[in-house]
Each structure stands twice: as structure tokens, then as C-alpha cells.
Chains A and B, each alone.
Chain A
Amino acid sequence: MTAQIAERLLYEGSEHAMCTNPLDDYFAMAGHRPPFGSPSTALWRGYVGRWEIVNDRLYLVGLSGTLEDGSEVTQASIFPDFPERAFAHWYTGTVRVPQGRQLKYVHMGYGSTFERDLLLTIERGVVVSTEIQNNGEADESQGQEGYGVGAMLIYPTKGRSRHRAQKDTDEGLL
């Protein structure tokens, strides 16, 4: 098992790592999950979503993924009529946004701990409360700032071009 690449969240003017996958709930509720391929052990879900909170509402504003056959998946593939912004009304739960320096690296899922967690409680896509959870203080010498993945295996994926992989890296998606 490997630490997983986080989703991205635009919140209060800056972009953060988001350790919650609201789109997985959508696929489960809709009863259909596209056959995503895993380009890396750090991305078993096969996609990275970009989210935004606007007026206390959670929106999906971008998606980059690859199917098992190597074809690209974008937000338009999942929400053809809402290719740029989709309101996540299906999502109820807590969105976790790690902040500060890393206290402990766990090479599994979103298991690593950070100095603080911004927790957004969401009901049917609407933010109903926010809370900062303090988890401790890291030494100056200890831990990196911000969410990261320690090591991963990258699999060559059919049809996934070097250009595409570079583009994803440049955009901070991989």
C-alpha cells in the first residue's frame, strides 16, 4: 500500500491538498464507476479531482484521470452537461484539508498526520461548519510542509502520452 495522491481544493483564495474523495460517493450512489486505470500505486482510484468552495458550496471544477484502456477521463466525461462546474449535492461528510508540517508519514492512504487539519463538515454539498483540529507541533527539522507522497511505482499506461503525464505534473495533478 502506498500513500495516495490527494484531491485539490480551492478554498479562500488558495489551493490545498484535500484528503477526501467525494467523487467516490457519487460513483457508488449512481451505481456506476468508470473503469479507471491506476497509473501509479499512489493513485489507486485512477483520477484526481479539483474542487472549489464557493459561497459555502462544494463544486467539482476539474478532473484528470485515465481509463484502463488508456483513454483520458475529464469532468465532461462524467458530467457532460457540466464540464466546468458540478455542484456536489450528493456529498455528506467531512472534508479533511491537512495543514502545516508533517508530524508522521504513513505510507498508506491518507494516513499521514500534520500539525493541523481543517475539517469542513458538509451536508448535501453545503458547508455547515468548519473546524481546525490541532494535532501537535513538528520540530523545525522534522517533517515537510504540506501534503506529499513519499514513494510510488508508476506503471506505463496504454495510450497515456509523455506529454499528458508532464501536463498533469505541471498542473500539480500528479
Chain B
Amino acid sequence: MATIGELRQHLGTLSSILWNYGGTFAVPTLDRYDQGDIGFSFAAELPGGSEPKPPLIELTEVWTPERRGRFRLVEYAYEFVDYPLARRQAFHRHDPERFSREFGVVVHEHCEEILGQPACDHYYGLPMDAYEAIERFLSSWGQPTPLGCAGLRCMGEAA
């Protein structure tokens, strides 16, 4: 739960982290959506080559109003596509009712050792905040070691 002021600080902190790692992006804003929701969505290009595109981190959060001017995080998407290494990691929370009903969890991960060729469309994952996601993304940024997708558990597979 957070107030608008706290969310502005949160977004400002995320911006400064990405800036200090050499990210380039337009200054993100805390926006208003329909039904009183607020949130942000922005993408930062990281240094590390431009073929076919620079590495890209994209952060999206949607917060819904609760009591006393506070908001609750209801959806997020943290994405990292390391285009020069052609791979992708993502941590998502969306369609929570569907995922909860079908799989007993509200979050999932995407992991592609080869961009566009996932071995599985959705993996089980743990709830994550944007700071943990950035740390995970940066730890693999430009590194030759595999992401470790094979160690994740695929959703939709028989146990």
C-alpha cells in the first residue's frame, strides 16, 4: 500500500537506478488511468551494443485505490530483453483471477534463452518488486552465462 507521494518517490528511485547504470529514457511520470487506477510504464535502453537494438528494461505497474488515499499494486510487468545476446526475462502479475484459479498463483515468469523461442510460455515464479527485478536483470546483463530457464517449472505441464 502506498500514497501518491510514496509512489512518486518510488518511481523517482527506479529512474535514478536505471540512469546510474547508463540507461537512457524519457523521464517517466506517474499517470492516471480509468477507474481511479494510477501507475507508470517506461522503458530504458542500456549500454551494451546496438545490434539489433540496445538492451531494454521495461517497467510497468498499475495501482488501484484503496482506503484513505492509499493504493495497492494489482498488476506489474518487469521486462528485460538483452537484444545483443538475444534473450529475455520477465516477471508478470496480470489476469490474477485466471492464474489463481488455474495454477494457484497470481504471478509468473517468462524466460527465453533464445529470444522468440521459449521452451515454455509461462513459468511459475515468485512475487517480485521492481527493485528485485532490476537486480535480477542487471545480474545477467551482457553476461555470457545462461539465464537458467531450464531450472524453472513450466505452467501447464503435468506435475
The answer on A and B forming one complex is no
